[in-house]
Structure 1
Amino acid sequence: MELEALVPRLVAAGVPDASIFVYAMPLSVTNGVLLLNGVGNVVPIDPELPGYFRGTFQVIVRCLRYQEGKALMDRILPALTVEGDAGSPVAGYQVNYIRPRHKPIVYPRSDADVLELSVSTDYNVVLL
């Protein structure tokens, strides 16, 4: 799944467009959201089901204070959660589901001297 397709959902949830990053976030950013392919995630291609994909991605929130990051993650996860394409379009995909797998994991201060909250997310989509 092309994670850029999820950016409009984040913007609609009130996340400033300038603070959303896909695949990489510079160390200089102290407040931002990163959508990243799941670590070790290989999305298999099934010749019997062309365009049908299952995989994972991570949602990472970088922040200076935990409460700010938690509040942002609390807005992001409902915006990204989809169960059965019920009026929740994602450009270029029929979405069967997008689901967070767990509550945010908080990582200690990084090289950027900030906290990072991370949630792994599973998806199942059909390419249109």
Structure 2
Amino acid sequence: MNLMPLADLLQQNGLGIQGQTIFINQMPVETPLAVMLRTPLSGTKVNYELPGYYKTNFQLIARADGFENGKALSDSVTAALTLVETQVETMYFKYCRPMTLGIPFPVSKGNLIEISTMFECIFIQ
């Protein structure tokens, strides 16, 4: 799955700047306030009977200093990524929605917290 259009959407919504606070598939450890979108380790399945039609999932990780700040960031990004019948650049989303509530876990350096949310989506490309 190409996550760049979703990263662009987050930047357009004022939720960060790509390469500084919005990342795809890797996030620098020294960045204390950031979000990362990760493709599924299993990849996006291809259905040859429905060319260009995909059903997949991805992970959102929001990092901040403290639970309240992390939850606020995670909630804002989750709201921006919850889509129904929406065109985002070259992708048309039938839906994009969280599958889970955010799961907080500590980052070992700097007393930071990361909150992970799994999304599922169906899109046409």
Tell me the residue number matched to 2:34.
32
Secondary structure, in 3 states, of the residue corresponding to 2:88?
coil
Unpaired segments ≥5 residues, structure 2 = none
Matches within 5 A, 1:27-66: 27-38=29-40, 40-66=41-67
Q: Which amino acid aligns with 1:99?
A: R
Tell me the residue number matched to 1:125.
123
Tell me the residue number matched to 2:78.
77
Q: Which amino acid aligns with 2:89?
A: A
Partner Cα separation in structure 2 for residue 41 and residue 113 of structure 1: 31
Q: CA deviation at 1:60?
A: 0.2
Q: CA RMSD in A?
A: 1.5
Q: TM-score, normalised by structure 2?
A: 0.90
Correspondence 1:95 to 2:93: yes
CA 126–112 in structure 1, closer or farther in 2 if over 3 Å, else same: farther
Partner Cα separation in structure 2 for residue 114 and residue 103 of structure 1: 19
Partner Cα separation in structure 2 for residue 112 and residue 55 of structure 1: 33
Secondary structure, in 3 states, of the residue corresponding to 1:76?
helix
Correspondence 1:106 to 2:94: no
Partner Cα separation in structure 2 for residue 76 and residue 70 of structure 1: 10
Secondary structure, in 3 states, of the residue corresponding to 1:67?
helix
Partner Cα separation in structure 2 for residue 16 and residue 45 of structure 1: 31
Unpaired segments ≥5 residues, structure 1 = none
Q: CA deviation at 1:84?
A: 2.1
Q: Percent identity?
A: 30
Q: CA deviation at 1:121?
A: 0.2
Q: CA deviation at 1:42?
A: 2.8
Partner Cα separation in structure 1 for residue 22 and residue 110 of structure 2: 16
Q: TM-score, normalised by structure 1?
A: 0.88
Q: Which amino acid aligns with 2:88?
A: V
